[in-house]
Structure 1
C-alpha cells in the first residue's frame, strides 16, 4: 500500500460525503446516486436509475458498511481508508468488488447510449455531479482515452476505475478521476 492510494481514497471520500458532515452513511451513498441521476436528467424511476440504486445499495452493504468499525452506521475517513486498504488488495477481485457499480455508472454517464463516454458526457458527470474542475476533467479524459477515439469504451472505463482503486502510481491519469490528488 502506498500513500498514493490514501490520497485517492481521501479524494473519493470527499465526493462520497455528499452532505459534507465528515462521514459516509447509506444516505450519502443514495444521495451520490441521486446526484448522478439528476445530472443525467434521468427520471428517478427509470431503469438506469433503479439499477444504479440497487448497485449502490449493494456497494453500501458489501463494501462500505463493513468498514464501520464502531457500528454507528457511519464511516469516517479513517474507517473508509482502512477498509479500502483491507478490501481492495487484489485487482483480480475488481469484477466482484467494483465492476457492477462501475457498469451502472458507465450506463448513466453514457448519456446518448452509444456505449462510449465522450468528453462532454465525462465532464458533465464528473464535473457537475462530481464537483471536479472542468480543466481536470478534460486532462484526465484525454489521458484515459487510450486509443485516441474521443470516447471511453467500457473497457477503458473499467481500466480507469481499477487503476484508481487498486493502483499505486500517483501520476497515473486515473489517480485523478475524482479530482486532482495532492501529495
Structure 2
C-alpha cells in the first residue's frame, strides 16, 4: 500500500534525520542490514549475548518495524531511499490498523535500558544507552531531562513511550524521543 500523502515539513525533517542516522553505510538507502547494525550497537553496548531476551526483543521489534516500512512503502526492493523511507515511516507511525510497530520499538528499547528491571530508567541507565549510540554527555543529560517530564530523576515507561510519540508526531524536530529510534 503506497503512501499517497506528503508528510508535513517537520515530519519530513525528522524522518530525514532518522534516515541519515540509519543509513550507516552511506549508500543512500536504508535496508534491514542498516537496522541490524543499530541493533548490534545496542546489544554490544549492553554486553548482551544475541540470544538474551532483551536483545531478541529489540531485534524482533525492529524487524516488525522494517516489515511495516516495506508494506507502507509500496516499493518492490527491500531497500528504501530517503523519500520512500520518510513516507513509509510516516504511514507506519500513524497506522492503527494493527500493532503499532514504532511504539513496539519504544517498548523493547525501554526494556533494554531498564537493566535492573525496576520498570524505570535511571540517569545512569539512560547515559549508558546514549553512550552506546555515541551521544555526547551534555546532549544526553539534556535529553534525559527532556524525557523525565515529572522531574523525579527517573524515566517511567509512560514518559519513554510518550517521548517516542512526541518524536513521531510532535512539532519539535529535535524532540528528545529521537533517541528511542537511534537518532543522536
Compute the TM-score of the two structures, normalised by the length of structure 1: 0.82
Cα distance in 2 for residues equivalent to 1:132 and 1:43: 23
Identify which of 135, 147, 165 aligns with 1:144.
Answer: 147
Choose 144-153 or 17-26, whichever is displaced more.
17-26
Q: Aligned pair in 2 of structure 1 residues 13, 25: CA closer, same or farther (>3 Å)?
A: same
CA contact (8 A) 2:19 2:82 kept: yes
1:136-156 CA-partner distances (Å, limit 9, x unpaired): 111111121111111101000
CA contact (8 A) 1:143 1:173 kept: yes
**Is it true that 1:56 corresponds to 2:62 in the alignment?**
yes
Describe the SS at the equivalent of 2:65.
Answer: helix
Q: How far apart are residue 172 of structure 1 and its match?
A: 4.8
Structure 2: give runs of 5+ residues left out of the alignment.
1-6
Partner of 2:127: 123
Q: Aligned pair in 2 of structure 1 residues 176, 57: CA closer, same or farther (>3 Å)?
A: closer
Choose 96-105 or 67-76, whichever is displaced more.
67-76
Q: How far apart are residue 7 of structure 1 and its match?
A: 1.9
Q: How far apart are residue 18 of structure 1 and its match?
A: 2.8
Q: Aligned pair in 2 of structure 1 residues 126, 49: CA closer, same or farther (>3 Å)?
A: same
CA contact (8 A) 1:144 1:156 kept: yes
CA contact (8 A) 1:6 1:81 kept: yes
Partner of 1:83: 88
Compute the TM-score of the two structures, normalised by the length of structure 2: 0.82
| Number of aligned residues | 176
Q: Aligned pair in 2 of structure 1 residues 145, 95: CA closer, same or farther (>3 Å)?
A: farther
